[in-house]
Structure 1
Amino acid sequence: MPAKSKYRRDFCRMARVACREGFSDAKLAELLGVAKSTVQQWRREKPEFARAVTDGKRTFDGRVERALYRRAVGFSVAEVTRKRVPVTREDGTTALEVKEERVVRKRVPPDPGAAKEWLSKRSAPADELAGLSDAELAARVKALEVELDR
């Protein structure tokens, strides 16, 4: 008689959330209290679990891709500096209060290493997309459009 599976339906939600945060299959297995091979088996045998893992990883990969793109082309960031001065209150205690606040926009220059990485990743989609059905391609296009609208 085969051993009872440790799989529970709430693992789907846990897997989706964990994978959105960048968990690998090994880390996911650790979180769920099973072996990495068990996670891989569930991905093959449980469509809802496979979807949850794939959706979560796709979300994380999109975040990483956007961050890599920003590093590759450079970006601006607002830096806030505050000058604080000691002030004596009516009750005799001293506190620091903000006297002056300055916002300075700084430009982070493009990173050639990130640009090289970005360009090397851009050639991969053709191979990755080759085996997808029309419906899967349409879903990928829709997901990209949603990401671009953010």
Structure 2
Amino acid sequence: MSKGRPSVYRPDFAEQARKLCRNGATDREIADILGVCVRTFYRWRAEHEAFAEALRAGKELADDRVERALYERACGYEYQDVKIFNPGGAKEPVVVPVTIHVPADVGAAKQWLASRRPRPWAGEKEPEETDMSRRWLEAFMRLEEERPQREAKEAARFAECVEKRVAEELARRGLQE
């Protein structure tokens, strides 16, 4: 049985939240629109699976829209518009359909590529093989090859130490002849 004041959550809040997220609203803005504090908003998200799923779905739609807009800006695009002229002496304005070309934006292209292909575009460089790195790699490989012998020697030393300690302890207790 829950204690405290009953929740004001209603199932229709899930659909409202999905629409608000789809339109780019933040968690704080959604909480404000629903008339609750952010803490209550997060509690609802944790307690009501339908509410949490609606938030995820709405945010995914908004992210997809932004991703598409960034892609279009990166590649450039065209759209149809109209220009309205009012030439002197004309009785009515002249409406002319035009195609507007928005050129590709290098900054948007870099941002798109940095998130989609970070290795070559996000400033991450391929590691160069230098003489020093090659020597380190060779040393590491030698150590790996020698590992079984080192481990066997270490195990033998450990066994000797254990035998010695057991013999000392038995002698101390007077159990050894």
TM over 0.5: yes
Structure 1 residue 104: Cα displacement: 2.4
CA distance in 2, matches of 1:86, 1:4: 70
Report if the CA contact (8 A) 1:86-1:97 is conserved. Answer: no
CA shift digits 1:107-137 (9 cap, x unpaired): 211111111221233258xxxxxxxxxxxxx
State the number of aligned residues.
116
CA distance in 2, matches of 1:3, 1:80: 58
- SS of 1:76's equivalent in the other structure is strand
CA contact (8 A) 1:26 1:36 kept: yes
* 2:37 aligned residue: 35
Q: CA RMSD in A?
A: 2.3
For the pair 1:103 / 2:92, whether they are aligned, the reply is: no
Preserved contact between residue 80 and residue 103 of structure 1 (Cα < 8 Å) = yes
> Which aligned runs of 4 or more in structure 1 are off by greater than 6 angstroms?
none
- State which of 57, 60, 64 in structure 2 corresponds to 1:58: 60
Give identity over the alignment, percent. Answer: 42
For 1:88-122, what per-residue CA distance to the aligned partner results, in whole angstroms no more than 9, with x for missing partners? xxxxxxxx623x32222232111111112212332
Change (3 A) 1:116 1:29: same
Unaligned runs of at least 5 residues, structure 2: 119-177
CA distance in 1: counterparts of 2:65 and 2:51, whole angstroms = 21
* Structure-2-length-normalised TM-score: 0.59
Alignment correspondent of 2:18: 16
For residues 85 and 106 of structure 1, what CA distance do their matches in structure 2 show? Answer: 22
1:80 counterpart = 2:74: no
1:42-96 residue CA offsets vs partner (Å, 9 max, x unmatched): 1121110011111111111111111111001101122311223689xxxxxxxx6
Larger Rg, first or second structure (1 or 2): 2
Q: Distance in 1 between matches of 2:50 and 2:81?
A: 44
Query: Which is helix-richer, 1 or 2?
Result: 2
CA distance in 1, matches of 2:5, 2:100: 59
- Larger fraction in strand: 1
Contact 1:80 1:101 in 2 (8 A): yes
